[in-house]
Structure 1
Amino acid sequence: MQPDDETMQRLVDAARAVRLNAYAPYSRFAVGAALLDAEGRVHAGANVENAAYPQGWCAETSALAAMVAAGGRRVRAVVVVGAGPRPLTPCGGCRQKLREFATADCPVWSADEHGVTARHTLGALLPAAFGPDHLENTP
């Protein structure tokens, strides 16, 4: 079941709010993400940079960690908020991390401070993805 526009707006608002807490002293590119889990709870996260660049993590990763810490195991919708000339979508690594908890039809919305800038599905962003279902029935 796809979330309604009101629920998606709650996610946009949560992602915008958490983006203000991003730790991005190097890139100055603050990102917020919010996820809706199967129980209807919203989990938000911001990007966290590190002076040892590969050690930072994305907003989507932070939101997934918050969801798992709260007992969630299924993502029903995703919103990513950031400023830039084009709609912001999850990076390749985050697309794969989202796939662990979401199906191909999961809505992934991009937004900025003015509104929603793009609407995708996880399947459109990560076609022919490898996921948990590939490991079913393996010895």
Structure 2
Amino acid sequence: MQQLTSLSSQRGASATSIALLLIVIVVAGKLLIAIVPAQIGDYQLTKTLSAQLEEANNSNESAKNFVERVNRQLSINADYDTSAEEVFTFTNKKAGQLAIHKKYEKTKNFFGNVDIVSRFEGDIKQGDAKSSAKK
């Protein structure tokens, strides 16, 4: 009878590898919970800005009216912590040719003092409003 004492003959997972796997799963899940909502929020905000930009340009609204329109829409969407002035700046303020540059960031707590900062930036022009929003 031969006794198997080498590590290569071990079958199954050790307690250490199971603990490490659980840690990896928890960290990955926490990352997903922190990042995915910010990405979805940015997609929805970009769609809203694109639609509002198209409507404003079609009705030859001024930049001031566009900002009021966006703030009103954000309020309707229950996005009370976001204002138009914090999210974008104008790259073209001519009525009927409005174009904006979206630039903002969202901060989400990860663990303890560690935060995840998601930065979103992109140009939105009249042509972009008809197609999908770009990041």
TM-score, length-normalised on structure 1?
0.32
TM-score, length-normalised on structure 2?
0.32
Structure of greater relative contact order (alpha carbons < 8 Å, 6+ residues apart): 2
- Structure with the higher fraction of residues in helix conformation: 2
Larger Rg: 2
